[in-house]
Amino acid sequence: MTDPYNSLTGLQTALNQKQIVLDNCKTTDFIKMHADKPQGQPRFTYARMEGKKVVSIVILIPAQPIEGVLCMAIGYATHKLRRKRGLAIKTIEAALKEFQHGMSRNSVSDIMIEAIVEKENIASQKLAKRVFMDEPREGKDQYSGEACFAYVRKLSEIVQD
């Protein structure tokens, strides 16, 4: 299973080395975003910053469609020194609102969001339950084979205008 915390530290390194620049978001001023296509696949990274430090991130990448509907996998992480302050949920909500805004400009309205959470990661499970408000499906991660929970919900049900 991919650990989104590695993406947080990688993003911080890329910013420090001036390899990338984050763009302003249209729907909020407290997160920035970066869109790229590593290995040809679109990736949308949203970062909550404190000065020049990344404190929380949300990453969206394409996943397998669900019942023919576009699905995006979500990963999220908060800097270890900034946890238990509500930053993750606020960053997720803002990132999904921004993502929905961008997709609606491209006439894409039906989107599913899926979070795959390790069975041992209780904090992430609690967060996913808040966002997805649903009981997860138990399974095994397709890449690592580790036990996990899958949370799925329509983006339009998560983001309320």
pLDDT band at 160 (very low <50, low <70, confident <90, very high): confident
Residue 80, classed as helix, strand or coil, is helix
Residue 79 pLDDT exceeds 80: yes
Report how far residue 146's alpha carbon sits from residue 118's, in angstroms, rounded to the nearest whole number: 7
Q: Which long-range contacts (CB under 8 A, 24 or more apart) does 100-106 make?
A: 100/155, 100/156, 100/159, 101/26, 101/27, 102/26, 102/44, 103/155
Strand 69-78 vs strand 111-118: parallel, antiparallel, or unpaired?
parallel
Kind and range of the H or E element at 37?
none
Query: How do residues 86-115 score in pLDDT, each as one tens digit?
Result: 899 999 999 999 999 999 887 777 899 999
Write down the mean pLDDT value for the chain. 92
pLDDT on residue 161: 57
Which CATH number applies to 4-158: 3.30.230.80, 3.30.300.100, 3.40.50.720, 3.40.630.30? 3.40.630.30
What pTM value is reported for the model?
A: 0.93
